[in-house]
Amino acid sequence: MNSRLSARAKVGLYGVLCLLAVPFVFPTWWMVTSSVKPVRDIFAFPPSLIPTEASLSAYRRVFELQPFAQQYVNSAYIAAVVTVGTLAVSALAGYAFARIRFRGQQVLFVVVLVGLLIPSEVTIVPLFRMFHSWGMVDTHWPLILVPILGAPSVLATFIMRQFFIALPGELEEAARVDGLGRFATFWRIALPLARPALGAVAIFTFLHSWNLYLEPIVFLSSPEKFTLPQALTQFVDAYGGPMWDVQLSAASMTAIPVLVIFVIAQRQFIEGLAHTGLKG
């Protein structure tokens, strides 16, 4: 399969790849270009792939209609806290399940793994009632606590465990002979070696929190507490119809920064996700 291809096969292959790439690339292009088009041109036929005149007025209206800057901060800080928290919880638990022998380990691991099997939609009703009784509805607490400690972090713990299991044990043995305790061994020896796995976990945890939609719309009701996915759907006119230019401007501002980071660091992104944890 890896043999050299003839020139004709190469041209054909490029053609197929370019054609297949259209649905992956065109939406993002169309989102950004449409967001700067004047409203009257948005549904023009034939569609113009490159806007003839550009205006940022829809971008201004995003901030007039919603506390969008605040919503941006909400999403960013929640995703940051969830990412750091998940890394801490999953690295500790993953290390212990992989490296420390203790009674009850097998049973407790199975107990934790149950979280992998449970779609968050299944537990949303009781979680709503729990947070309701704790007075935490319409706060960010459910969006922070549940991902860090609940089902979403279980996958992270599993990936960290798989990584630590594959790590050669000699370094740690040496550290322990030198009198390092368990936590010091973990912190100074194992954790620095786990950087690729931590990177992969950080990436998918951040994306998961950044994309969360069901939980915000269930738990949050004040616009200044909304997160971005929820805010994006709020740009509607008096009849409930979408204000396309404003929605697309807000969507562009949500999508582009992450996309830029991805393009810069795409190798770490893709290879990190492919080669750590999920494979084993």
Partner 1 sequence: MSVLTRDTAGRAGDRPAPGGAAPPGRRGWWTTRRRDQLAGLLFIAPQLVGSVLFVLIPLGLVVWYSLHEWNVLADTFEFVGADNYRAMAGDPNLPSVLWVTALFSVGLVAFNLSLALLLAVLLNQRLRGTVLFRTLFFSPVVVSLVAWTIVWGFLLQDNGGVNGLLGTLGLDGPNWLRGDTTALLSVIVVQVVKNVGLNMVLFLAALQGVPAELYEAARVEGANAWTRFRRITVPLISPTILLTSIITVVGSLQVFAQIAVLTQGGPGTSTTVLVYYLYQRAFQFHQFGYGATLSVLLFLIVLALTVVQWRMRRRWVFHEQ
Interacting residues with partner 1 between 27 and 56 (CB under 8 A): 27-28, 30-31, 34, 43, 45-47
Other C-beta atoms closer than 10 Å to the C-beta of 222 total 9
Do 154 and 235 form a contact (C-beta atoms < 8 A)? no
Is residue 280 involved in binding partner 1 (CB under 8 A)?
yes
Binding mask 146-185 for partner 1 (x = CB under 8 A): x-xxxx-xx--x------------------xx-xxxxxx-
Do 78 and 144 form a contact (C-beta atoms < 8 A)? yes
Which residue number, 54 or 270, has a Cβ lying nearer to partner 1?
Answer: 270
| Residues 79-98, interacting with partner 1 (CB under 8 A) | 88-90, 92-93, 95-97
| Beta carbon of residue 2, minimum distance to partner 1 (angstroms, whole number) | 5
DSSP string computed for 24-56: HHHHHHHHHHHHHS-GGGTT-SSPPSS-SS---
| Beta carbon of residue 145, minimum distance to partner 1 (angstroms, whole number) | 7
Which residue number, 17 or 238, has a Cβ lying nearer to partner 1?
Answer: 17
Q: Which stretch binds partner 1 (CB under 8 A): 13-21, 57-65, 66-74, 194-202?
A: 13-21
Q: Which stretch binds partner 1 (CB under 8 A): 51-59, 61-69, 164-172, 253-261?
A: 253-261
Other C-beta atoms closer than 10 Å to the C-beta of 206 total 19
- C-alpha span between 139 and 131 (Å, rounded): 9
Do 255 and 244 form a contact (C-beta atoms < 8 A)? no
Is residue 251 involved in binding partner 1 (CB under 8 A)?
yes
Please identify which residue in 7, 103, 192, 238 interacts with partner 1, judged by CB under 8 A. 103
Please identify which residue in 36, 74, 115, 164 interacts with partner 1, judged by CB under 8 A. 115
- C-alpha span between 93 and 157 (Å, rounded): 6
Which residue number, 26 or 224, has a Cβ lying nearer to partner 1?
Answer: 26
Q: Which stretch binds partner 1 (CB under 8 A): 50-58, 65-73, 109-117, 164-172?
A: 109-117
Q: Which residue intervals of the chain are DSSP H helices?
A: 7-36, 57-65, 68-99, 105-113, 120-133, 141-149, 151-166, 170-177, 182-185, 191-193, 195-211, 214-219, 228-232, 244-264, 266-275
